[in-house]
Amino acid sequence: MPAADAPYCTTQVEIGCSDGVRLGGHLWRTSNAAAPGLVIINPATGVLARYYHFYARFLAGAGFDVLTYDYRGIGLSRPRRLRGCGYRWRDWGQLDFDACIRFAQKHRRGGELLVVGHSVGGFLPGLAASGALVDRMLTVGAQYAYWRDYAPARRGRLFLKWHVAMPAATLLCGYFPGRRLGWLEDLPAGVANEWSFKRARTERSYPAASRASVLERFAAFHAPILAITVSDDELGTMPAVRRTLAYYSGASKTEVLLSPEALGVDIIGHFGLFHARFADSFWADTLHWLRDGVNPWGLRDGVNPWSER
């Protein structure tokens, strides 16, 4: 892989959704005229896009164009008033990510359309009508917060936090005051409640008449997926990631379980892989998948490749 040192420029952009909502984000343009593709980075729930800016800079330095953005209700895409805005979790995939695909198609300079999805960001692409345009996807701890999939040792505490305390606070405030609590960013009520009351089958959160169309959109997503989870991730566990991947019935899926020991650290958890300390290890390895579709972890010591199917 080339060194991550190519010049790039960053521009703040607005992305228009089909329902009129405008999202805030940044487009990272590499000076590499033959960019291998444009990478859309999908954040985790309640996490600002700027959390992924160090990784975006790394990708731009490695020759990729990159689009980072905040979902509606978050960061640069937050309305003046969260109460009563009506935004839902599903809107982030059906409307926001779909708009990002169309924006990326308009602005990419050849190469492939690539996605890096963290947590729910690896689930949302299957909800987008334009998901079939994606060429390849890397997911990290992809899950949609079904509580029985949480790590057994932490399940009780996480259930009380996200499925009891969060809906109670949301009911009281009219939105989830995550920033005040020091948990996450503030969330629209529809987003918080869809998380809190998510069922084992995600389509059961939809009206019965629209459930088949949800499954059809997932089935139409054909991009190969490299799904990464970490052994000490209490949210994106192996069952959670596999529950998510099962919806992508039309895609080939390669599953890899990484341990902190394999990366020379004691703890990684749900958020750690996007810290800059992994620039020379995990980040550098992601280039093999994004550029060439090669899984660099399959045969390494300390790595457990679950399956390739």
At 168 the pLDDT is 98
Across 184-212, average pLDDT: 95
Residue 305 pLDDT greater than 70, yes or no: no
At 163 the pLDDT is 97
At 301 the pLDDT is 47
At 4 the pLDDT is 56
Residue 306 pLDDT greater than 60, yes or no: no
% of the chain beyond a pLDDT of 90: 90
At 31 the pLDDT is 87
What rounded mean pLDDT belongs to the chain?
Answer: 94
Residue 185 pLDDT greater than 50, yes or no: yes
Q: Assign a CATH topology to domain 8-147+206-308.
A: Rossmann fold (3.40.50)
pLDDT band, very low/low/confident/very high, at 307 (cuts 50, 70, 90):
very low
pLDDT band, very low/low/confident/very high, at 299 (cuts 50, 70, 90):
low
Domain boundaries, the chain: 8-147+206-308
182 Cβ contact list (under 8 Å, min separation 6): none
- Among the residue ranges 2-11, 45-54, 111-120, the one predicted with the least confidence is 2-11
At 3 the pLDDT is 45
